[in-house]
A and B are shown apart, each in its own frame.
Chain A
Amino acid sequence: MRVVLAEDLFLLRDGMIRLLEAYGFEIAAAVADGPALVTALVEHRPDVAVVDVRMPPTFTDEGLRAVLEARQVVPGLPVLVLSQYVEQLYATELLADGAGAIGYLLKDRVFDSDSFVDAVRRVAAGGTVMDPEVISKLLARGVRKEPLAVLTDREREVLGLMAEGRSNAAIAERLVVTERAIAKHTSNIFLKLGLPESSDDNRRVLAVLAYLKS
């Protein structure tokens, strides 16, 4: 699996290259700033990109903008964005095109290399992986806003796990119920959020987006 990596700090970039190579990924390019990232993404069309948000030249949200720009040229290009902070605002911007294949994780998630690499693979396969911190913030403040107010507590719990990028099987295991029960919950969620009939992947992205915007 070919990866483009964008990270401006040499130590972290080096560490990430080693980690990904150890898990059998091939590094197509490793860049250190926004403009170089856009070029690399469009040129190499990797299976997945792993991108740091804050990079030169402006040291603001360079990586995020580069990703959005590249995804306009290459729609649905799988990208896992890493950051010292996770912001709901940025999460919704990343998901806004509805194409999925987006991950958004805190940098510390790299510490747990197994689950980090798992997240990279899920994004490469078109999944959506939101950081548990985004989800826990959403859960903590309670849901009073439309349209999620119509969901039951259990359905919101399932939606949160869905946003973290877990499959129905994984959610079932976590909540100690059958996969059939989870499938029922997810179809209820799609129905209540008024998501049109389409592929399951696509509806999952839209549901997560609605969740983040709530």
Chain B
Amino acid sequence: MTNTKKRLNAVAEGGFWFFVMMLPMLVGYVLLSVVVGMAGIGLGLLAIPPTALYLRWLADLRRTKVRQWRGVEIPDPYRAPPRFEEGFAGYWHRIRFHGTDPAFWRDGAWVVVDPLVGSLIAILPLALVLNGVWGFGISLFWDVLVRNGFNDWYTFVHVHAGNEGLRWAPTAVGVLEVAIGLAFAPALLNAHARWSRLLLAPTPAQVEARLKHLTDTRADALDTQAAELRRIERDLHDGAQARLVAMGMHLNAASQLLEKNPEAAQKLLLEARDSSAKALSELRDLVRGIHPPVLADRGLVDAVRALALDSALEVEVVADVPGRQDAPLESAAYFAVSEALANTAKHAHASRVWIDMRVAGGLLKITVTDNGIGGADASRGSGLRGIERRLATFDGILALSSPQGGPTVVTMELPCASSSPKTSFSSGTA
């Protein structure tokens, strides 16, 4: 992009923020006034959720455009929303959730202050350019203006009948204004971007809370991983490795017996063969526990279908998950479902299970519902706690509803960015 084009773009951006966005910002201001002004009579509370969503939309638009145009990264400070129930109780939770989110009130402050500061910074280059052009207009139409009794100042030039000699002075001043407007446009728009970041980026306290969450879940993830590695090491040591040693011994003995006692040698060879089959079978089980083959081959949905087929319970799987997810996320979701299913088989006295998986709004939602006796308690079962910890690494959450008498519903949510669908291969010649 040439220098001039960059400057013109900056001027246009300023125009966008002032002329296009001013009205939507004002609407936000009005909504906020309703929230604050009518808080006393309760109406204000009801307006919180729509206002919060609207302000968030406005702020996100600013964040995206500022990143696109100015390269200034503004992280968003919002808390991840939980799952809200339907109906009045759900709406009340929404009000509480948004009302207590500091990010909502900071958006509110932004919508009040920004029109007075941000918009003025943004419009300055365009205002200078337009005023400069107006100076040229005055020089051109001096006669017409004066004949119609026009008598005014353009900047410091007095425009009136006796001042004809200064006819081209407004043009000169105007050119200067355009030049200044263009010269400072990028700097001013950069300042506007930094101003936006000041108001819209997370505060240090928010960053710190996030940091603590990340540190905790990372420690959990590392613990889990270390325990997994220990288990794998032990399984290999006691299983496949031991079998291979036995195999070697059998083969050695067989080779020594081969001439003197072929029958005994034959028996040992068969034992060696059995050892190798057992070692293979143990390795298979081990790999299944690390990364199930169907998960690697087909992804989450088919892997859960395979789980359903293997389960002793009648399991129905409904899925709307496009393409493949990130491998670590798929794995976490798979083992979470597997654990939930195992829990159901062990404790719920259920005969049927329904698994529903779908991706919507950047979330992978999985519900596992059974027709069992209920009464499951997340704080007592180590299985559910394990799933919860595993999901937390991905900022995922688990909710359990299990009244006495059932049914039990386990709901899991994981933020996800669906990757592109796996490319299928053609059957052309190799």
Contact = CB atoms under 8 A, between A and B. Distances in A.
Contacts of A212: 309
Given A31-B430, A35-B430, A84-B284, A111 B276 contact: yes
B297 interface: yes
Contacts of A61: 297-298
A57 B424 CA distance: 11
Contacts of B296: 60
B198 interface: no
B280 A57 contact: no
Interface string A128-148: 000000000100011011100
Given A31-B430, A85-B288, A88-B310, A60 B277 contact: no
A85 B426 CA distance: 25
A61 B280 CA distance: 20
B309 A88 contact: yes
Given A142-B312, A144-B314, A108 B429 contact: no
Contact of B427 (A39, A107, A111): A39
B277 A145 contact: no
B293 interface: yes
Contacts, number: 70
A78 to B, nearest CB: 20
A17 to B, nearest CB: 19
Interface in B284-340: 284, 287-288, 293-294, 296-298, 302, 305-306, 309-314
A144 B351 contact: yes
Interface string A36-70: 10110000000000000010011011100110010
Of A58, A60, A107, most B-chain CB atoms within 10 Å: A60
Given A33-B430, A35-B426, A85-B293, A213 B309 contact: yes
Given A137-B310, A144-B314, A89 B430 contact: no
A202 interface: no
A126 interface: no
Nearest to B429: A39
B428 interface: yes
Nearest to A140: B312
Interface string A168-187: 00000000000000000000
A89 B302 contact: yes
B143 to A, nearest CB: 80
A92 B310 CA distance: 12
Interface string B407-429: 00000000000000000011111
Interface in B268-289: 273, 276-277, 280-281, 284, 287-288
A58 B313 CA distance: 33
Contact of B430 (A39, A54, A58): A39
A123 to B, nearest CB: 21
B357 to A, nearest CB: 16
Nearest to B283: A84
A65 B306 CA distance: 17
A34 interface: yes
B312 A36 contact: no
A87 B294 contact: yes
A54 to B, nearest CB: 8
A98 to B, nearest CB: 18
Contact of B306 (A33, A36, A39, A88): A88
Contacts of B429: 35-36, 39
B302 A58 contact: no
A45 to B, nearest CB: 16
| Of listed A58, A142, A146, A212, residue having the most chain B CB within 10 A | A58
A40 B38 CA distance: 77
Interface string A80-100: 000011011110100000000
Given A34-B427, A39-B430, 14 more contacts: A34-B425, A35-B425, A35-B426, A38-B427, A39-B427, A39-B429, A60-B296, A62-B425, A66-B427, A85-B287, A87-B293, A89-B294, A144-B313, A212-B309
8 contacts: A34-B425, A35-B430, A38-B427, A60-B297, A84-B280, A85-B288, A87-B294, A141-B312
Interface of B: 273, 276-277, 280-281, 284, 287-288, 293-294, 296-298, 302, 305-306, 309-314, 351, 425-430
